[in-house]
Structure 1
Amino acid sequence: MAGKFELWTDKGGQYRFNLKASNGQVIATSEGYSSKASALNGIESVRKNAPDAPVVERED
């Protein structure tokens, strides 16, 4: 099974999504969105842009 996006409304009324791996582990969490349409646009942005995202190593 492939990963999946889960969309929900938080206690403050904001729409949020998680990207879950096939084993159910959350691998990404969104910011809060004021509308469902905006959250769905956020999901589409991740789908479109993530395959080409570079890996950058942080040094803290």
Structure 2
Amino acid sequence: MAKFEVYQDAKSEYRFRLKASNGQSILASEGYSAKAGCLNGIESVRKNSQDDSRFERKKSSNGKHYFNLKASNGQVIGTSEMYESSSGMENGIASVKTNAPNATIDSI
């Protein structure tokens, strides 16, 4: 089953990553100063992941594909890993759409 992992980084900021049932990380958040903000970010992912227009498809300077998931206010909620192809990126978006709404939340 897919899950959101909530953790603190080296700067003591709270972050989450959405992992698919196979353990692959499919979306990672920005840092939050409080755990409550991080949990709100997860709820925003659940809601906004169901709207394809919230996914910003991008290409990095080295030619790899990735996407940002944005809230209705345009703020980036999460960023994907880098993909070799646009089809891999689209599979990642499909995975977020499928997994985010019912993923459990684990604190590590």
**1:59/1:26 Cα in 2 relative to 1: closer, same or farther (>3 Å)?**
closer
Identity %: 58
Poorly superposed stretches of 4+, deviation over 3 Å? 54-60
Q: For the residues of structure 1 that align with 2:23 and 2:56, how far apart are their CA atoms?
A: 25
Larger strand fraction of residues: 2
Q: 1:1-60 maps to which residues of 2 (within 5 A)?
A: 1=1, 3-54=2-53, 57-58=57-58
Runs (5+) with no aligned partner, structure 2: 61-108
In structure 2, the CA distance between the partners of 1:57 and 1:9, relative to structure 1 (3 Å rule), is closer
CA 1:57–1:22 in 2, change beyond 3 Å: closer, same or farther?
same
2:17 aligns to what SS in structure 1? strand
Q: Give the aligned length.
A: 59
TM-score after normalising by structure 2: 0.49
> Relative contact order: is structure 1 or structure 2 higher (C-alpha 8 Å, sep ≥ 6)?
2
Aligned-residue RMSD, C-alpha: 1.8
